[in-house]
Amino acid sequence: MAQERGSVIVVTVVLSLILLQYCEFCEAATHVVGGPGGWTFNVNKWPKGKTFKAGDILVFNYSPSLHDVVAVNKGGYRNCKTSRGAKAFKTGKDRIKLARGPNYFICSIQGHCQSGMKIAITAN
């Protein structure tokens, strides 16, 4: 009887630890970049005043024949340049999970980033 009780306690502890590990995903929010207007020109001010957490999902809605989304570093964001081998998202309904710290995204179509089609988000 004592051995069965010990086994139940061990199983309960293990399950609790597993649930805690995935708890970050339970609290993750989904943010539609640009709101109803989606991923478009002059969206660079959209993150202002919003709070983001690591694990939150950004949804980029746009016409895939006109735009794309590329995750870049700070220099790429500032200079509107992608690095060699950078992954371009091109579905028009891209879902990207935020990493802790700064996250930078641009449209790599010529002239789009310079027209404000870029965002910088810091996730806590």
DSSP string, 65-92: TT--EEEE-HHHHHHT-PPTTPPEE-SS
Mean pLDDT of the chain: 88
Q: Is residue 89 part of a domain?
A: yes
Q: Examine the pLDDT at 40 and tell me if it is beyond 70.
A: yes
pLDDT of residue 19: 46
Q: Examine the pLDDT at 53 and tell me if it is beyond 50.
A: yes
CATH of the domain at 78: 2.60.40.420
Starting at the edge strand found earlier in the chain, the sheet holding 88-89 runs: 88-89, 69-72, 101-106, 118-123
pLDDT, mean of residues 49-77: 97
pLDDT of residue 54: 98
pLDDT per position as a tens digit, 79-89: 999 998 888 99
pLDDT of residue 42: 95
Greater pLDDT, 20 or 93: 93
B/e letters for 90-107, b = 16+ CB within 10 Å, e = fewer, are eebebebebeeeebbbbb
Q: Which residues contact 79 (CB under 8 A, 6 or more apart)?
A: none
Chain centroid to Cα 2, Å, comes to 48
Domain count for the chain, please give it: 1
Give the integer Cα–Cα distance in Å for 72 and 78: 10
Tell me which residue of 29, 88, 21, 89 sits closest to 54, measured CA to CA. 29
pLDDT per position as a tens digit, 7-19: 666 555 555 545 4
pLDDT, mean of residues 14-34: 67
Q: Which residues contact 70 (CB under 8 A, 6 or more apart)?
A: 76, 82, 86, 87, 88, 89, 105, 106, 107, 108
Q: Is residue 9 part of a domain?
A: no
pLDDT, mean of residues 43-64: 97
Q: Is residue 3 part of a domain?
A: no
Sorting pLDDT into bands at 50, 70 and 90, what band is 116? very high
Range of the domain at 75: 28-123
